[in-house]
Every structure is written in C-alpha cells, then in structure tokens.
Amino acid sequence: MDYQFAAIEEKWQKYWADHQSFKAEANSDKPKYYVLDMFPYPSGAGLHVGHPLGYIASDIFARYKRLKGFNVLHPMGYDSFGLPAEQYAIQTGQHPAVTTETNINTYRRQLDQIGFSFDWSREVRTSEPSYYKWTQWIFMQLFNSWYNLETDKAEHISTLIEKFNAAGSAEIKAACDEDTKTFMPSDWANFSDAEKQEELLKYRLTYLKESTVNWCPALGTVLANDEVKDGFSERGGYPVEQKKMMQWSMRITAYAERLLQGLDTIDWPEPMKEMQRNWIGKSSGASVKFNVENSDLQIEVFTTRVDTIFGVSYLVLAPEHEWVAQLTTPAQKAEIENYIAQTKKKSELDRMADAKTVSGAFTGTYVVNPVSGERVPLWIADYVLAGYGTGAVMGVPSGDQRDWLFATNFNLPIVQILDSQKEIDVQADPTKEGKYINSGFINGMGYKEAVAFLNQWLEDQGVGKAKINYRQRDAIFGRQRYWGEPIPVYFKDGLPYLLKEEELPLLLPEIDKYLPTETGEPPLGRAEGWKYEGKYEYELSTMPGWAGSSWYWYRYMDAQNDQAFADPKAVDYWKDVDLYIGGSEHATGHLLYSRFWNKFLKDLGFSKEEEPFKKLINQGMIVGESAFAHSIGFNFGEDVTQKFTNEERESYDKIKEKYRFISGKYLSYELIELLKSSNDLEDNSTTEKRQAILSHFWKPVEEDLTAAGLKGKVNKLSLPLGLNFYKTHVPIDYVNTKNEIDIINLEKNDPRFNGAEFNLNGSVFLSSREIEKMSKSKFNVVNPDVLIAQYGADTLRMYEMFLGPLEQSKPWNTNGIEGVFKFLRKFWRLFHNEAWEFTVSDEAPSKAELKSLHKIIKKVQEDIERFSFNTSVSSFMIAVNELTDLKCNKRAILQDLVAVLAPYAPHICEELWSLLGNKDLSTAQYPIFNPEYLVEDEFAYPISINGKMKMNLNLSLTLEAKAAEEAVLANEQVQGFLNGASPKKIIFVKGKIVNIVV
RNA sequence: GCUGAAGUGGUGGAACUGGUAGACACGCAGGACUUAAAAUCCUGUGCCCUCAACAGGCGUGCGGGUUCGAUUCCCGCCUUCAGUACCA
C-alpha cells in the first residue's frame, strides 16, 4: 500500500494510549532522564503551529533517550489559572472552570494528534483543588519560615522564636523588614500574642506589608514587576500606576545572592542567565550617612563610587522620600510642593521619556559631608527612585554624567577629584585611573586603595560601611482576582493567621459575578458566608499566575499523591529536570520564581537539588506572515478664492469624510506601489496608468461634488500627497505563495469583504505581506490540524524541525512541507516494491549500504545531543536518497534506519517496525555506531594553489606528507595549474587538504 | 545609552575544532509520461563574462588585519532582532 499516513497515525496513537507505552515508573535499573516542556496556558484559540515547536523537539529528545536505555519522565499538564478565562467570565458569566475545561479538551485533542510521547497519567492542572492544595501548602511553609543569614538558608519560624527567647533580637541576622524592633528576651516574653505575631511577620518569607505596588486600574489588580512592561500591563496592555497598598509579598530578595551564584552552575543559554543577572542587579559599593545640619537626622545614601566622596557637591532625595516635608525650610516649601505635584502628574511613561531633561528643587536644607565636613545643599529630583537603594544619592558632578547635567543646570560646583580626569567642564569623566586630588586624606591614593581605606574609615567612624545592593525587589504575591489559588489565611484582630494543614485545600468559593465588589474589594468579597470558622475574614486576594508554575515539575514526579506534594522517594529518584524546553519570555518571571521556590524547598529538606532545571533550551518563536488587501482614500482641499455657504460647507465636509477612506474597494498591491511611486524619473506610461486608476476612483467624488453644487470650488491635491493608503488583514488561507488573493472565495466567505470590489478589471489581485506575531486578530494563524489532515503528523513534526535551528525565531510558511512529505513517501517506498507490496530482503548488506546506515546513525546521534534537529532531517533525506539509488531493501539496513528515524517520525516507524516483524518500538534500541564502516582507503584531496581550490585528486589515506607531496607534484593536471611555477611550500593536512604555495 | 544574539543564493538554511562555501529542501527553467492537467521521474540552477564548452573573474553585511588558507580568529564600522533602562 501507498503511504497511508492517516490510518497509520490513528492506529499507533491508539496503541500507545491503550498500552500506556510512555508511562514512567520511579524505579528502574536504567538511569533516569527528565525531559520537561513549559506547560501551556490553555487559551481559547487552541494551538497554532508555533506552539508545538518546542514540544516536538523535547519529544524527539525523550524518545531518543528511551532508545538509548534511559528511564524517561516526559509529562505534560496545564497552567490553567489565568486572566483570559476570568475576563471571558466577566463578559459572559461563564464559570472560568468551564471555559478552562473546554479549552483543555481542545488542547488535548490537538496534542494527541501530533503523536507526543507524554505520560498522561501524570497530567497536572494548576486550577484543580488536588493540585492547588499543595500550592497553598507551600505558601504555608513560606509563611512559617524565616531566612537565617548565618546558616544562609531558610529555617522554620520556631528556630527564630527560640532565639528571641534565648537572646532577644539584637544578635539575629536575618533577611527581614527594615523596621524590626530591638528587644531583650524578657521583652519578648512580655509581648502580647498580637505583638509577637506582628513582629514575626517582619521575618516571614511570605509576609503582609504596606508597600508601593504596580496598580492596574483597568484590570483592578496589582502586578509584579515582571508583569509590567514600559508602564503597561504585560497582559492586555493597560496603563499601570504606583500605589501604596497592604500586600502579600514573597521575600525572594533573601535568595538574591544564591539565585545569582546558582547561574554559574547550570547549562542555560547565556542571554537567559544575563537577563536574570540584570534583574537581580547586584552592585557593590558603600552606604554613607550624611548628618543633616541643625537636626538629628542622618541621610543614608548608597554609592558604587565611595572614592569620589570628596567631590560631592549636593545630595538628592527622591520626591517620594518620607523625610522631604520635614527637611524643607519654610522659604522653600512652596517650590518643593510645586515640584512634587508636577512629578506626581507625570506618568511612569512620561518620566521615562523625559529622561534627558533635568529637573529638581532645593529643600533649603544643608547636610554635612562626613569625610570632609563640608556642607552641601539637599535637593529633591525625580531622577532618584524611591524604590532603589535608600532613595537618596550623593551628587558627584565630575564623575557622573547625570550628576554633571544636574550640577550644570543648577549652578552647583564641579570639583575635579582625580588628576586623570579630562575636560570636566564639557562632560563628566567617570575614570578610575590616576591619583586623587582635592580629596583630603585620600589624596595621592589610587582607586583600589582609596575604596578600601574609605570603607574602613567610614566603619570606624560609624558613618558608613561597604555594602552590597540588589535591584531586585520582593515579589508582590496577592492579586485582586477570582481565578487563582485562594491564599490560606484568615484575619483575627487585623493579623493574618494560617489555616491548619488538614484544612487544605481552601476551595475557591462560588460567586455571582467575577467583578470587584461595590466597596472595591476583590471578587472573593462577593462570596457569601465565606468565613473561617464562620466568623473570621479570609484573605480576599488570590495568588498570582506564577504560584502554580513555580513547583509543578515536582508534582509530575508523583501527580496523584494526596499525602504530600510528592512522595519524598519519588523526589529523591527523579531529583531535577535534566532538559527543560520553553520560551525565553519567562526569563525573569517563571524561571526566577521557580528557582526561588526550589531553593526554599531544598532548605526545608523537601528536595535535594539546589537548581531545578539543569539544562534549558529556548525554542524560537514562530511568527506569522500576515497578508493585506489595500485600499485608498482622498484628501482634497478647497479653492480659497471662493467662499462656501454654511450649507455648502456642511455637504462639503460630509463628502470629504466619505472619501477619506473609500470602503469596499480594493487595489492590488502593485497598483498601490504604482500610486505611491514618485513623479520623478518615470516614463509616461506609468503616469497614464496612475491617472487611469485615480480617475476611476475620482469619478464618484466628482459626481457628488457636482450634485452638491461644489464643482470648481474644490481642489484635487497633488499626488501622492492627496491620497490616503489603508490596509486590511486578509485571512492567509485565501492567499497563495505568489501573494495572489482568491478574491472570489474571500468575498463570499469573509463578511468584511462582502460585496467588495477588487481592482478595476478583475485581473490577478495581489496582497502585501508582513511578518507579525501569530494572532487571531491578524488573521495569520496557521492551525496544525489542517496540515495534519493534509500531510500527517510525522510530516508536520519533521517539517517544523526542518525549518531551521530550534532556538531561532522564524516566520512560518508552508513552502517546504511538500519536500518533507515526499521524503517520507520515499522512505516508505524503500520497504515496498513497484506494486506497493511490503518486501524486504534478508541478503547481507553491501559496503555502500552499511556506510550510508552508519553515517546516519552517527550523525543523528551527534545532532540530537547538540539539539540540532534541522540538520538531522537533511541527513535522513541524504540517507534515503542514497539507499534509493542503491535500490536497497535489505532488512539489516532498514530495520536500524527505522529505529534511528523513530524519534522524529514515530508513527510511520512504528508501522514499519511492526511490518518488519517486531513488537513495538518501546523494545527497540538505538543502533550501535560502528566506525569501521566509514573507514576509507582513499580521499579526493582538494588541491589548492595559494589557497584557491583548483581540483580534486584521489590519494591513499595511508600517504604521509612527503609521499603525498610527491604524488601531487607528479600529477599532470597539477603541473598544468602550476604552469611552470615552482612551489615554494606545500601544506599537507592528512584527510583534509593540499595547498601549494607558489 | 547599555547588554546579548544575528547578518551566507530568488527563499528556508548547511558548513560542528581555521581546511572543497552554498549540503538538504523549496522555488524557478527545461525535458519525459499524458489528449490535457495533476501526480511522478530526469536534467540544470550563487553572480558576472561567453552562443556554448573550456577557462576565467567576483562572491558569506562593509573596511582593514593575522594566516599557506578566514563564513569561522582579531580590530573598526553598518544593519536587524531581543532584553533592559534616570539603578546612584
């Protein structure tokens, strides 16, 4: 039979499901290997061809590892809490759980038909109570923990209480809030329960605190820093503002250093690591305290250039700094208040766009430089951020360009501090070279010496010390939304208390609608009678999207367990993820939070590995090729010498508006280009063509104008100035590879184009193309279902791999898919005779056949190990082409070839494998590569003269340099190329090249 | 601005440690089969000069350098993409 992909694929997908072919067990003599995909959010749109790219790669890898004798865990699940289902619920009243279930079913159907080797018995869904019970449980562990800086790990909160009981708080070294109290053991004993809880909250790894958050009014919720891009929400693109709110936070900053250090131990793409490093933003410097004149206050600043401290000519506070009001003198009060008001008006975006303009206001107060005793003015300016460092900086104009601009703008002194600084009257010179001048007791020192000396001096004087600062902030954990994990907390006397472990899961209550309450509380405030023990308020925020995804790889290890998030034995066996494939957009979100929770779980002894994902590969995004139909419209002016009556004016404006965009009439793209082309340097025929098009469109305008009695009072503007160009997305299904639009069907089937007129004469109608992200609204989504129906899953899998390197982002087009399909048919035909009957021979293979086979065994093995899937597809084609030329149908060759191809095209390979008389591929092994078959006695050496390749010459591979040189020079053709010139030198690289230098 | 990645035929891309640039595939052109089309098969296909062959010249973003030899290494520049941005 011919290659019947549909029947074959259905058959084997059923077989795999029935036989649980890919079920992994946590006990095996084989070494373990854990291949993980980033689990999807099941959106309503279903899968497009870009989604499976990473899944196909990981599936090939998983199947390959099984053939190589590994016990492979390759699971899949759904990150099923999220915003779209909730917004759909707000619009339609449909419960998010229902929408989610429907979407998951679509995803599952689509995933199944691609033939993935997932162990579905381990499926997880983050929105299932049996799953989020353990997300809540982890939250509770975090609440019950503090970070001990002495042991450098998280510990149970009870060890902190013991320390309070034994020695009070003075000696505690913890990652905690800044406003912790200093107290003696006796004080602690006398604290009321509420006071104790309040104090402990400042140490817990998840805590409630008044903090400045990113508030998104349109979504009605707060967002984490990584969910905000350029002042807009990542999802939905709504504006985000800063707001002070009581919020749950995760003390991820406690782990900043370990998150940074861990990056050096994992095999991740360098850009990913770099993004995380930037996000953590470690900088080392010093903190210095400046005394405020006529006050007890000390302003602490953080600087990375403590060596420049003698060059300080002013200090700046962030406008939001809490001391601004009390440090402003009465004389300056109005100015400062005015400046703060102005700053507040600016949105985050304005502030960023405004980066180059210098602004600020003087408080009237002076502070004292602790090293020089000099008094310098205290300013406020919005270039200082309240959220970073201490919200106060010292200004050193000679060494920092921003400080230089500020000083220049406000006439503050610019003091040179290093003898090597140049042209500081033109711009700042941030050099660290040279010796210090004008710098008191560090004069004459070099950079390193000065920093060490100053840090010590500041510490001795008690006015500062060396300090390491991180940009990363604690992660805001609460979301004012419905469709998320409820936080297992209730409030008693305004203080948060955890539920008991046995009370988990705290189920998401039913509510009447999915909007905030009338009093502005989160949607959970609508749940009637939803109270702990019938009287205490539950926390009304839910967890953020990243909560459920920050530990899910552990759940796959033991997905059904209701006693623990996973059996410790399973965790001990599977340990960590060996290969993780997913998009790079999760660099500072999911991947960072997951590393954080993993380290925490390890500290508490629930897992063993410091890092969860040993190797990470980012698949590139597949983007779409949108198509556009173009239309035009007119702008026209009026004859200024003739005045309009009111009536005329009115009808003129109407006509003007009507023809600004001429709807329902489209022009083929080459005509649009013609219209856009300039008047210069063109022949008359173009001008004529253009005039013809335009007069066609202008005719109705003229008629309308005449009817309104406006003829002669209106000017056609010169072209192309007077034209407007418009483009409309056309569904790409109606556009062929030559960019021709099927206008008949488009007009019939797409309501937007009903009754539309295309072109002037019904000729071929061209669209233009643009590369855009695939999305429904751009009508450029390619659905894998269609391709699978046409070519089968094996072709789709191989084609997606053939498209290019996995990591590279690339536009999708279906141009080459025929080639891959033809390859699979050709492969199928190797096993069949002319009449499409399955025929293989048991003859011994020839040397050439063995060579082809072992070349591909070696190549594919190497390619998969370095994730170069596209190159192995080419190699398969070469192998099959070679074997076809050799007319090879020998079992000894073909059986091994099937095993090598199986990870890429599993269905066709299972079929052939069983036709060859074997059980199924789960019993197969990857063929052993034998280098003997590739040994050659001869090699066609490229002979080059002065590095230019001239010819090939067959030489024995046993020849060494001397003999080879002689043989080359003895060759007539070589002599011909040399043309009498005598070689100066001959380079001979065995098995590679001969180069003759003349 | 900073950080990172990348620029190769008409197109997607290959060349893994400096050693035959353009594998494999698409597209295109020509041919076979066919009444015809589709499908299939065969041949050619980087550019330039040439009727053509032989031969030659030019070619991996641009300009230099190192080397017997550079897509690969070094220096400078240009372009594109991604991330990030008043971070003190």
**Smallest Cα–Cα separation from A279: which of A467, A475, A430, A146?**
A475
A976 CB below 7 A from strand B atoms: no
Q: Which nucleotide lies at the shortest CA–C1' distance from A875?
A: B24
Residue showing tokens 């869904």: A125
Residues 555-614 on chain A lying near strand B, CB distance under 7 A: 584-585, 587-588
Neighbouring C-beta atoms of residue A91, cutoff 10 Å:
9
Neighbouring C-beta atoms of residue A166, cutoff 10 Å:
10
C1' of nucleotide B21: residue with nearest CA: A949
More confident residue, A642 or A847: A847
pLDDT above 80: residue A666: yes
Spell out the residues 6+ positions from residue A293 whose beta carbon is closer than 8 angstroms to its own. Answer: A365, A366, A367, A368, A375
A992 CB below 7 A from strand B atoms: yes
Q: How far in angstroms lies nucleotide B88's C1' from the CA of residue A196?
A: 37
Q: What is the three-class DSSP state of A917?
A: coil
A870 CB below 7 A from strand B atoms: yes
Look at residue A677 in the predicted model and tell me its pLDDT.
65
A94 Rama class: left (phi>0) / alpha (psi -120 to 50) / beta = beta
Q: How far in angstroms lies nucleotide B78's C1' from the CA of residue A688?
A: 40
Q: How far in angstroms lies nucleotide B75's C1' from the CA of residue A441?
A: 42
Read off the pLDDT of each residue in A267-290 and give the average, rounded to a whole number: 88
Q: How far in angstroms lies nucleotide B40's C1' from the CA of residue A838?
A: 20
Return d(Cα A8, Cα A491) in angstroms, integer. Answer: 60
pLDDT above 80: residue A227: no
pLDDT above 80: residue A640: no
Return d(Cα A447, Cα A974) in angstroms, integer. Answer: 64
A50 CB below 7 A from strand B atoms: no
Q: Lowest-confidence range among A83-97, A495-509, A632-646, A787-801?
A: A632-646
Share of chain A above pLDDT 70, in %: 96
A93 CB below 7 A from strand B atoms: no
Q: How far in angstroms lies nucleotide B35's C1' from the CA of residue A238?
A: 65
Which DSSP string corresponds to A245-276? EEEEEE-GGGGHHHHHHHGGGSB--HHHHHHH
Residues 738-777 on chain A lying near strand B, CB distance under 7 A: none
Instruction: Express each pLDDT in A865-910 by its tens digit.
Output: 999 999 999 999 999 999 998 889 899 999 999 999 999 999 999 9
Return d(Cα A737, Cα A748) in angstroms, integer. Answer: 21
Planar angle of CA A929, A36, A875, nearest 5 degrees: 35
pLDDT above 90: residue A58: yes
Look at residue A717 in the predicted model and tell me its pLDDT.
60
A944 CB below 7 A from strand B atoms: yes
Q: A784 — phi, psi (to 5°)?
A: -65, -25
Q: How far in angstroms lies nucleotide B84's C1' from the CA of residue A275?
A: 8
Q: Which nucleotide lies at the shortest CA–C1' distance from A821?
A: B25
The answer to whether residues A697 and A636 touch, using CB atoms and an 8 Å cutoff, is: no
pLDDT band, very low/low/confident/very high, at A84 (cuts 50, 70, 90): confident
Return d(Cα A96, Cα A87) in angstroms, integer. Answer: 9
Beta strand ranges found along A676-764 (DSSP E)? 714-716, 723-730, 757-758
Look at residue A662 in the predicted model and tell me its pLDDT.
86
pLDDT above 80: residue A684: no
Q: How far in angstroms lies nucleotide B17's C1' from the CA of residue A615?
A: 23
* A576, burial (CB in 10 Å: exposed 0-12, middle 13-18, buried 19+): buried
The answer to whether residues A958 and A937 touch, using CB atoms and an 8 Å cutoff, is: yes
Residues 457-486 on chain A lying near strand B, CB distance under 7 A: 469, 471
The answer to whether residues A370 and A289 touch, using CB atoms and an 8 Å cutoff, is: yes
Return d(Cα A314, Cα A795) in angstroms, integer. Answer: 68
A48-70 burial, b for 16+ CB within 10 Å, e for fewer?
A: bbbbbbbbbbbbbbbbbbbbbeb
Return d(Cα A589, Cα A549) in angstroms, integer. Answer: 10
The answer to whether residues A849 and A888 touch, using CB atoms and an 8 Å cutoff, is: yes
Return d(Cα A470, Cα A211) in angstroms, integer. Answer: 18
Share of chain A above pLDDT 90, in %: 47
pLDDT above 60: residue A3: yes
Instruction: Sort strands A579-582 and A616-618 into parallel, antiparallel or unpaired.
Output: parallel
User: How far, in whole angstroms, is CA A968 from its chain's centroid?
Assistant: 56
Report the 3 state secondary structure along A600-655. Answer: HHHHCCCCCCCCCECEEEECCCEEEEEEEEEEEEECEEECCCCCCCHHHHHHHHHH
Q: Which helix (H) or strand (E) holds A109?
A: helix A96-112
Q: Which nucleotide lies at the shortest CA–C1' distance from A278?
A: B84
Instruction: Sort strands A579-582 and A32-37 into parallel, antiparallel or unpaired.
Output: parallel
A213 CB below 7 A from strand B atoms: no
Q: A757 — phi, psi (to 5°)?
A: -110, 125
Q: Measure the N-to-C terminal CA separation of chain A; round to a whole number of Å.
A: 62
> Can you state the angle between helices A793-802 and A52-67, rounded to 10 degrees?
100
Return d(Cα A305, Cα A289) in angstroms, integer. Answer: 14
**Strand B nucleotides in reach of protein CB atoms, 7 A cut-off:** 3-5, 11-16, 19-21, 23-27, 40-41, 56-57, 68-70, 81-88
Look at residue A963 in the predicted model and tell me its pLDDT.
84
pLDDT above 90: residue A68: yes
The answer to whether residues A549 and A79 touch, using CB atoms and an 8 Å cutoff, is: yes
A281 CB below 7 A from strand B atoms: yes
Spell out the residues 6+ positions from residue A459 whose beta carbon is closer than 8 angstroms to its own. Answer: A465, A466
C1' of nucleotide B55: residue with nearest CA: A977
Beta strand ranges found along A293-369 (DSSP E)? 298-303, 314-317, 361-368
pLDDT above 60: residue A262: yes
pLDDT above 90: residue A540: yes
Beta-bridge partner residues of A769:
A627
Q: How far in angstroms lies nucleotide B46's C1' from the CA of residue A984?
A: 33
Cis peptide before A505 (omega within 30 of 0): yes
pLDDT above 80: residue A149: yes
Spell out the residues 6+ positions from residue A864 whose beta carbon is closer than 8 angstroms to its own. Answer: A60, A61, A64, A872, A903
**Mean model confidence pLDDT for chain A:** 88
Which amino acid, residue A915? L
* A168, burial (CB in 10 Å: exposed 0-12, middle 13-18, buried 19+): middle
Residue showing tokens 């990857």: A926
pLDDT band, very low/low/confident/very high, at A780 (cuts 50, 70, 90): confident
pLDDT above 70: residue A937: yes
Q: How far in angstroms lies nucleotide B26's C1' from the CA of residue A817?
A: 8
Q: How far in angstroms lies nucleotide B40's C1' from the CA of residue A893?
A: 26
A826 CB below 7 A from strand B atoms: yes
A790 CB below 7 A from strand B atoms: no
Return d(Cα A677, Cα A725) in angstroms, integer. Answer: 13
Read off the pLDDT of each residue in A769-796 and give the average, rounded to a whole number: 86
Q: How far in angstroms lies nucleotide B26's C1' from the CA of residue A707?
A: 56
Tokens of residue A751, six digits? 């309501």
pLDDT above 70: residue A496: yes
More confident residue, A341 or A444: A444
Which amino acid, residue A613? F
Look at residue A19 in the predicted model and tell me its pLDDT.
94
Rg (CA), chain A: 36
Look at residue A615 in the predicted model and tell me its pLDDT.
92
A863 Rama class: left (phi>0) / alpha (psi -120 to 50) / beta = alpha
A347 CB below 7 A from strand B atoms: no
The answer to whether residues A735 and A741 touch, using CB atoms and an 8 Å cutoff, is: yes
Look at residue A148 in the predicted model and tell me its pLDDT.
95
Q: Lowest-confidence range among A34-38, A222-226, A377-381, A608-612?
A: A222-226
* A512, burial (CB in 10 Å: exposed 0-12, middle 13-18, buried 19+): exposed
Instruction: Express each pLDDT in A383-440 by its tens digit.
Output: 888 878 888 999 999 888 888 889 988 999 999 998 888 888 888 888 888 899 999 8
Q: What is the biggest distance separating any 2 CA atoms in chain A, rounded to whole angstroms?
A: 106
pLDDT above 80: residue A240: no
A816 CB below 7 A from strand B atoms: yes
Instruction: Express each pLDDT in A941-960 by its tens digit.
Output: 888 888 888 888 888 888 88
